[in-house]
Amino acid sequence: MVVTGFGFAILVGTALLMLPTASADGTSTNWVTALFTATSAVCVTGLVVVDTAMHWSLFGELVVLGLIQIGGIGIMTLASLLGLLVTKRLGLRMRRTAQTETKSLDLGDVRSVIAGVIAVGLTVEALTAGALTARFVIGYGLPLGQASYFGAFHAVSAFNNAGFALYPDSLTRYATDPWVCVPVLVAVVIGGLGFPVLFAIGRRLGGEQRRWPLHARITLLTYGALVLLGTITVTAFEWTNPDTLGPLGTGGKLLTGLFHGISPRTAGFNTVEVGEMHSATLLVTDILMFIGGGSAGTAGGIKVTTFALLAFVIAAEVRGVSSVHVMGRKLPDGVPRQALTVALLGVGMVIAATLTLLLLSPFGLDAVLFESISAFGTVGLSTGITAELPDAARLVLVVLMFTGRLGPITLASALALRERGRRYELPEERPIVG
């Protein structure tokens, strides 16, 4: 149902974007471009093969915006509902739910989940749009109507971690403007943390819950550590690069470093030219994009919980401990296997797509690998090769965006739901590992 629902949304979006009224010049857009754009919007990726503001008319831009909203809010809702389904209590009032890679909830019924996700999304988008609109009017003299539209578009794109912008250079013109960058980053982080974590924060602040749920603690600590790591490495590696941070002042360098430490989680906006970054910076960005953000949020990737759980499993194995303990809790035996399966299948998809793109396009490994991970993690950052890829390569990215966006969610839920006891065991024999 999840795959069919999002597939149907993409097909409807493709049909709408192919209409002559959707393009700025009044001609019909070819089906590959329309399909790529619709998939990128529904999967909240942000990769584009045509300039959003130049190619699409107002109607086309509103279609893209609607697809982003459907994809972002819809994925948060479906991911949260899958978390309830995993507990086998769907439709019943509940106090606690089990946690899988996808999410950990402490909610009531299904209606509460849907209402909560929509309320959080619309509230964050409205506040971000208001802040951006005020800045565009006061700081840049835009007419109120245009400023409101620009503010709303980028607010929806930011909260849903979509990365679509109405400027051909994304947000590079605002690289040193904290009044634009900070609201965008706040919306990105809130959307990327995931609804279960936002719900836990709300209950904690409201005094309804004394102890942080394990999922929330893992997500917040890991997310924060990766943001810090990304900010430090990007800033340090690009500090003297004349094509990125070099010409900026100290404040501008720090703000831009912070922006690009958070953006790969998976916002997709950029305030410097990604294609001009050093290879070391691109590799760090690859890692951040692959990990992604929080579960049941608008971010993609294998999720920070999956990454953290694998780290805990490795630590337990190195210490020679048979069970995995995390922050005063013991993980169920199936959780490490689920995390390992999600991560390795993600690696497999990226490798297969990278190899295919290398065969179909003239670009080198750095750019192609970056593009593949960006598509799988639904990030939207690019070194600038997306528009130059042949149609066959674009279709590969369409498949990768779709499977990367829905794969980890549906896979982890399916693994949890398929857990069952074995009535017999085979003779044990240990192979050599390592």
Q: Helices 31-42 and 2-18: crossing angle, nearest 10°?
A: 130
The per-residue pLDDT for range 92-150, each reduced to its tens digit, is 333 333 333 333 444 445 667 677 778 888 999 999 999 999 999 999 999 999 999 99
Res 201: pLDDT: 84
**Phi/psi class of residue 106: alpha, beta or left (left: φ > 0; alpha: ψ in -120 to 50)?**
beta
Res 212: pLDDT: 82
Res 75: pLDDT: 64
85-99, 148-162, 335-349 — most confident range? 148-162
Answer whether residue 247 shows pLDDT above 60: yes
Are 203 and 195 a contacting pair, CB within 8 Å? no
Answer whether residue 194 shows pLDDT above 50: yes
Higher pLDDT pick, 6 / 129: 129
Cα 200 → chain centroid:
20
Segment 195-213 mean pLDDT? 78
The answer to whether residue 192 sits within a structural domain is yes
The answer to whether residue 421 sits within a structural domain is no
Res 155: pLDDT: 95
Are 33 and 386 a contacting pair, CB within 8 Å? no
Are 6 and 42 a contacting pair, CB within 8 Å? yes
Q: What gap in Å lies between CA 341 and CA 318, rounded to an integer?
A: 20
Segment 358-366 mean pLDDT? 93
Res 347: pLDDT: 92
The answer to whether residue 293 sits within a structural domain is yes
Answer whether residue 87 shows pLDDT above 70: no
Percent of the chain whose predicted confidence (pLDDT) is above 90: 56
Res 96: pLDDT: 36
Q: Please, which pLDDT band fits residue 267 given cuts at 50, 70 and 90?
A: confident
Res 116: pLDDT: 76
| Burial (Cβ within 10 Å: 0-12, 13-18, ≥19) of residue 167 | middle
Answer whether residue 431 shows pLDDT above 90: no
Residues 312, 315, 321, 326, CA torsion sign:
negative
Model pTM score = 0.86
17-31, 114-128, 203-217 — most confident range? 17-31
Q: What gap in Å lies between CA 184 and CA 170, rounded to an integer?
A: 12
Among 69-78, 194-203, 233-242, 297-306, whose mean pLDDT is lowest? 69-78
Answer whether residue 406 shows pLDDT above 90: no
The answer to whether residue 294 sits within a structural domain is yes
Number of domains in the chain: 1
Are 161 and 266 a contacting pair, CB within 8 Å? yes
Q: What gap in Å lies between CA 159 and CA 101, rounded to an integer?
A: 22
Answer whether residue 420 shows pLDDT above 70: no
The answer to whether residue 257 sits within a structural domain is yes
Res 85: pLDDT: 58
- Look up the domain containing 247 and give its range: 2-416
Higher pLDDT pick, 385 / 82: 385
The answer to whether residue 427 sits within a structural domain is no
Q: What is the mean pLDDT of the chain?
A: 85
Q: What gap in Å lies between CA 84 and CA 134, rounded to an integer?
A: 40
Answer whether residue 48 shows pLDDT above 50: yes
The answer to whether residue 423 sits within a structural domain is no
Q: Please, which pLDDT band fits residue 321 given cuts at 50, 70 and 90?
A: confident
Tell me how far CA of residue 359 lies from CA of 283, 285, 293, 368, 403, in angstroms: 21, 23, 30, 10, 21
Res 193: pLDDT: 87
Answer whether residue 377 shows pLDDT above 50: yes
Q: Please, which pLDDT band fits residue 419 given cuts at 50, 70 and 90?
A: low
> In this structure, what token pair is assigned to residue 353?
């797509």
> In this structure, what token pair is assigned to residue 41?
């919007």
Res 322: pLDDT: 80
Percent of the chain whose predicted confidence (pLDDT) is above 70: 85
**Range 310-339 burial, b when 16+ CB lie within 10 A, else e:** bebbeebeeeeeeebebeeeebbeebbebb
Nearest CA-CA partner of 84 in 97, 75, 102: 97
The answer to whether residue 188 sits within a structural domain is yes
Residue 73 phi, psi dihedral angles, 5° rounding: -65, -40
Answer whether residue 54 shows pLDDT above 90: yes
Are 193 and 106 a contacting pair, CB within 8 Å? no
Answer whether residue 32 shows pLDDT above 60: yes
Nearest CA-CA partner of 118 in 151, 75, 181: 75
Answer whether residue 283 shows pLDDT above 90: yes
Res 416: pLDDT: 61
Segment 380-392 mean pLDDT? 93
Higher pLDDT pick, 337 / 34: 34
